[in-house]
Structures are given as C-alpha cells and as structure tokens.
Amino acid sequence: MISEEILKKIAHIVGQKHLIAGRDELVEYGSDATKLEGMPDAVIFPQNSGEVSGILRLATEKGFPVIPRGAGSGMSGGAVPVRAGIVMAMNRFDRILAIDQDNLICKVEPGVITADLQKAVENIGLFYPPDPASVNISTIGGNVAECAGGLRAVKYGVTRDYVLGLTVVLPTGEIINTGVETMKGVAGYDLTRLIVGSEGTLAVITAITLRLVPKPAARRTMIAFFPDVSSAVDTVSRIIRNRIIPTILEFMDRHCLDCVREGLNLPIPPEAGAMLLIEVDGEEVLVEQEAERIRSVCCQGKVIKFQAASGKEESEKLWEARRNVSPSLYKLRPHKISEDIVVPRSRMTEVVAFLDEMGNKYGLSIPAFGHAGDGNIHVNIMLDKDDSKEMENALTIIKALFEKVIHLGGTITGEHGVGLTKAPYLEMEIPRAGLDLMSRIKKAFDPKGILNPGKIFYQRI
Ligand SMILES: Cc1cc2nc3c(=O)[nH]c(=O)nc-3n(C[C@H](O)[C@H](O)[C@H](O)COP(=O)(O)OP(=O)(O)OC[C@H]3O[C@@H](n4cnc5c(N)ncnc54)[C@H](O)[C@@H]3O)c2cc1C
C-alpha cells in the first residue's frame, strides 16, 4: 500500500485532479480484456514527459510499481496491476502532433486511438496499415507496447514495421529519444525495436514517429466457403504460391460458422466447414486482376461457394460473419480463454485437427479463427471458469497446444503478448540463456523493477 505521503508527492507532480484513489473508481483500471483482476492504489493521468519522468523517478526512489495503461484492450493481462501500485493511464497524451506529407511520416502521442489516426491520415490520401480488430478502442501506445498485428499484417506487416522512433521515459526518470525520423538510420543499437513489444516493462512511451504509405486507390472483398479447414488452408497456400499477397486473408472454422450463422445477411452454406474472407487492395486495374486470379484459385480447389463484393455495401455484408465471430462464441459457454498462436501457414490444418482432438478428449468446444495469411490462429477454449474441472482441462489443453505449436516451428503468441497469461509458458519457447539475457536487459532499464512488475517474466505472485 502506497503511503499518504507518497500519494501527496504524486498529486503534486500530476495535479490532484489527475489522480484518483477512490476504490469504486479504481476498479475500472484493474483489468483488461482478459478479465483478470488487480487493484491499484491509485490511477494517474499525466500529460507530458516531464510529469511521467517525475513519477518514475519517485517510484524508483521509493520502490512502488507503475503500470502504464492505454485503453485496457490487451488480451494478455499486460495492463493489470498485479502488485498494486500506480496505474499510469496515458489517455491525456491524445494529440496527433504532426503529419508530414513530404516525408510520409507522422508524430503522435501514445493515447491517440488507433482508428482516429487511421482516419486522420486517410483523409489526406495516406495510410497507416496496422489494423488490430480493436482499432476503435486501442491506443497507438498500447499497439506499440504490444507490437500489435491485425488483419492487414499478411501484406503490410505489423506495428513494428511502421515505428521509426520513440520518445520514452526510463524507469529511472531519464527522457530519451530513440530511432530516427528518416527512412534509414543505423546509429547505435536499435533501442526502438527493443522497446516495441516490450509490454510496458522497459520504458513509458510518450511520443511515437510512424511511417505512412500512400492510401490504396481501390479494394475488393471476397468470401469463400469450403467443406473443411484443410481445403481452405490449401487454398491459402495456392493463393500465395500464385504470387498474390492479399491485404486480408482471414479464416473461420466450423464451430465459428455455427455460432455466427443465425441472423446474417449472407447465408452460410450448411455444408461449409471453413470460410476465408479475402481482400486485395491497390490500383484499380491490378485489384480487378488479382480478384479474378483469386476467384480462379478458389474455384480450382474444393470451394462450395465463392462471392466477390460489387461495392462497399456488399463488402460490409461479407465482413459481417468475421466481425461477429468473437462475441457470438459466448453462445457456447459463458467464458473463454483466448490464445493467439502462430504456425507456418502450411501447418494450420494440423493445429485445427489437434484442437478438435483435444476438444473431443476433454469435452470442451474450441472454435478457431484468425489471420490465415500469417498462420496466426485465435484459439478460443470455451468454458465455465467457475467449473474447476473445465478450468483444469482448459489448462491441460493450453500446455499441449503450446507444445504442439513449438514442435511445428511456431510461436505461442503472434500479437497479444506474453503479459501475465503466457508468462508461465515462455520458457517452453525461449531457452534459459535467452530469458537470462532478457532479464539482464530489464535490469539495465529498470534496476529496481518498478515498471509493470509480474509481466513477461514468470514469478509466482
Ligand atoms: C475485440 C478485440 C480485438 C483485438 N484484436 C487484436 C488484433 O487483431 N491484433 C492485435 O494485435 N491485438 C488485438 N487485440 C488486443 C489489443 O487490442 C492490443 O494488444 C492493443 O495493442 C492494446 O492496446 P491498449 O491501448 O488497449 O493497451 P493496454 O491494454 O492498455 O496495454 C497493453 C500493454 O501496453 C502497455 N502500454 C500501454 N501504453 C503504454 C505506453 N504509453 N508506454 C508503455 N507501455 C504502454 C501496458 O502496460 C500493457 O502492458 C484485440 C483486443 C480486443 C478486445
């Protein structure tokens, strides 16, 4: 518990009205999309790097935890205050500082909502491609801290590929700039890349320089239904082998289709066991050519039904099933544990077959959907978390799944991060020597371990 005296010092730095310490108000800042819970001692809303620096310096001196927080949409418990302390909510860092059309870069504060940045640059014919499905709520700071991926990663890459430079405050209070504001730059170690994806454990990000690209002139949406996952995955491989890189290549398995089927504007064929949502973008003529080639690849395979949208309205209809999938899974059970494993694209069928086997063995439903173009599968273990047997079975399945994924040459998390939920499993993927080096890096940044403790590195709390 942080003392009254320290709270007074904190209030002096950020201003009393930007500090909350009432229990009822704190609850909202104790959780994220995982629904894991912690309780902070207070939440503060700093507005500039100087205030962040003052708080972190005090935290290092007095030894209290500080947990940076964006929108709290994280899926691995990264923003959950597991050892109490101060939640540092970055909502007031909400300005787009500059959009430089000559150099195709922009500078933003971390609390900007991802979709707001996308709209601002698209209004002037530019494009910020990273597109997590949470764009309407997540912040750019949270995206950078998690290295968010999303739906367009197959063609455009992930957040890391767009971050050129950062302003960050170290746990010891120093404010530093990393990286460049140019397209090239190799001066010194790449601290920018180290901090991207560091899940708020190395530094607090207070400004971000991002690379932009021209906005694609046209896009075309298509949907294809297949009898089973293996024919959908085979089609994904053949699209790529045909040297077409779609912007979107999303898949859903039979369990997901069953959950979203009802009430859709676009009927799902009853015999469908898998779906691909495909989108291409670029110059109008090329988009038409690529869409035609994709139609022909799908039709050469075992497609049951293929449809290409003729306009924006129809495109929205094709997106409906994918957009509805996550909430509709709760029809199966009241809770879910979501994993975001990645395997080489060609091995996805093996993973889905493995999930069916595990589901049957342990009597749980495990719908899978995700970014087929990246081999990134969102695995959802549906359960009643108050049922201890179901919970135990789910944990057994997760461990077996991670073993399988690593055996197939994949990773236990493609975009949601390690946070709390995957910390106990990290050693399955990263050998001890690698983890030791990471913990020495953490120590160099954060000698007193005050920044977001309990995340990434597994310690029993
Ligand atoms: C419905 C839904 C769909 C999603 N879809 C995707 C998807 O397609 N792809 C994907 O990658 N993710 C997805 N996510 C996960 C989540 O939205 C992302 O991880 C996002 O980047 C988190 O942003 P946030 O602002 O909510 O961060 P938070 O959840 O608040 O924080 C996440 C982590 O970042 C740290 N952090 C936040 N701000 C800062 C800062 N300024 N400095 C240092 N550290 C900071 C926190 O300490 C924490 O560790 C989804 C989540 C939901 C709920």
Q: Does the Cβ of 78 fall within 6 Å of ligand 1?
A: yes
207: nearest Cα among 119, 111, 127: 111
Taking the C-alpha atoms of residue 182 and residue 320, their distance in angstroms, rounded to an integer, is 39
352: nearest Cα among 369, 364, 339: 369
Q: So what's the pLDDT on residue 356?
A: 94
Q: So what's the pLDDT on residue 262?
A: 86
| Pocket-testing residue among 69, 163, 330, ligand 1, by greatest number of atoms within 8 A of Cβ | 69
Taking the C-alpha atoms of residue 11 and residue 8, their distance in angstroms, rounded to an integer, is 5
How far is residue 255 from each of residues 60, 259, 371, measured CA to CA in Å?
49, 6, 16
In a domain, 48, yes or no: no
Residue 303, domain CATH: 3.30.70.2190
Helix (H, G, I), strand (E, B) or coil at 426: helix
| Pocket-testing residue among 32, 138, 455, ligand 1, by greatest number of atoms within 8 A of Cβ | 138
How far is residue 235 from each of residues 154, 242, 299, measured CA to CA in Å?
15, 10, 9
Q: Does the Cβ of 75 fall within 6 Å of ligand 1?
A: yes
Q: Does the Cβ of 134 fall within 6 Å of ligand 1?
A: yes
pLDDT in tens, 118-175: 999 999 999 999 999 999 999 999 999 999 999 999 999 999 999 999 999 999 999 9
CB atoms within 10 A of CB 72: 21
Q: Are residues 384 and 304 in the same domain?
A: no
* CA of residue 362 to ligand 1 center, whole Å: 31
Q: Does the Cβ of 454 fall within 6 Å of ligand 1?
A: no
Q: Does the Cβ of 73 fall within 6 Å of ligand 1?
A: yes
Length of the chain: 461
Q: Are residues 191 and 105 in the same domain?
A: yes
Please give the mean pLDDT across all residues of the chain. Answer: 96
What is the Cα 303 distance to its own chain's centre? 31
In a domain, 445, yes or no: no
Task: Say what the pTM is.
Answer: 0.96
Of 328, 351, 366, which residue is a domain's last?
Answer: 328
In a domain, 267, yes or no: yes
Give alpha helix (H) positions in 150-228. 153-156, 191-195
Name the residue range of residue 302's domain. Answer: 218-328
| Pocket-testing residue among 31, 44, 51, 73, ligand 1, by greatest number of atoms within 8 A of Cβ | 73
* CA of residue 202 to ligand 1 center, whole Å: 16
Q: Are residues 320 and 365 in the same domain?
A: no
Helix (H, G, I), strand (E, B) or coil at 66: strand
Taking the C-alpha atoms of residue 107 and residue 114, their distance in angstroms, rounded to an integer, is 13
Taking the C-alpha atoms of residue 437 and residue 440, their distance in angstroms, rounded to an integer, is 5
Nearest CA residue ID for atom 11, ligand 1: 148
Residue 390, domain CATH: 3.30.70.2740
Q: Is the pLDDT of residue 13 over 80?
A: yes
> What integer is the mean pLDDT of 437-446?
97
- 338 contact partners, CB below 8 Å, separation of at least 6: 75, 378, 379, 380, 381, 416
| Percentage of residues of the chain with pLDDT beyond 70 | 100
Q: Does the Cβ of 413 fall within 6 Å of ligand 1?
A: no
Q: Does the Cβ of 197 fall within 6 Å of ligand 1?
A: no
In a domain, 393, yes or no: yes
4: part of which helix (H) or strand (E)?
A: helix 4-14
Q: Are residues 288 and 378 in the same domain?
A: no
Q: Are residues 339 and 318 in the same domain?
A: no
| Percentage of residues of the chain with pLDDT beyond 90 | 94
Q: Are residues 222 and 323 in the same domain?
A: yes
Of 214, 247, 273, which residue is a domain's last?
Answer: 214
* CA of residue 79 to ligand 1 center, whole Å: 8
Of 214, 235, 268, which residue is a domain's last?
Answer: 214
Q: Is the pLDDT of residue 376 over 90?
A: yes
Q: Is the pLDDT of residue 424 over 70?
A: yes
pLDDT in tens, 189-235: 999 999 999 999 999 999 999 999 999 999 999 999 999 999 999 99
* CA of residue 415 to ligand 1 center, whole Å: 9
356 — phi, psi (to 5°)? -60, -45
Ligand 1 atom at minimum distance from 455 CA: 49
Question: What is the number of structural domains in the chain?
Answer: 3
Q: Are residues 188 and 291 in the same domain?
A: no
Q: Are residues 387 and 279 in the same domain?
A: no
Residue 116, domain CATH: 3.30.465.10
Q: So what's the pLDDT on residue 459?
A: 75
In a domain, 343, yes or no: yes
Query: Given its phi and psi angles, is residue 370 left (phi above 0), alpha (psi -120 to 50 degrees) or beta?
Result: left
* CA of residue 327 to ligand 1 center, whole Å: 18
Q: Are residues 109 and 205 in the same domain?
A: yes
> What integer is the mean pLDDT of 369-385?
95
Q: Is the pLDDT of residue 264 over 70?
A: yes
Q: So what's the pLDDT on residue 430?
A: 96
Q: What is the identity of the amino acid at 367?
A: P
Residue 124, burial from CB neighbour count under 10 angstroms (0-12, 13-18, 19+): exposed
Q: So what's the pLDDT on residue 460?
A: 55
pLDDT band (50, 70, 90) for residue 7: very high
Q: So what's the pLDDT on residue 461?
A: 47
How far is residue 313 from each of residues 78, 83, 224, 230, 364, measured CA to CA in Å?
37, 48, 18, 30, 37
Q: Are residues 324 and 340 in the same domain?
A: no
pLDDT in tens, 343-363: 999 899 999 999 999 999 999
Longest dimension (CA), the chain: 72
Q: Do 227 and 273 meet the contact criterion of CB atoms below 8 Å apart? A: yes
In a domain, 84, yes or no: no
Q: Is the pLDDT of residue 405 over 70?
A: yes
pLDDT band (50, 70, 90) for residue 266: confident
> What integer is the mean pLDDT of 18-35?
94
129: nearest Cα among 32, 60, 216, 39: 216
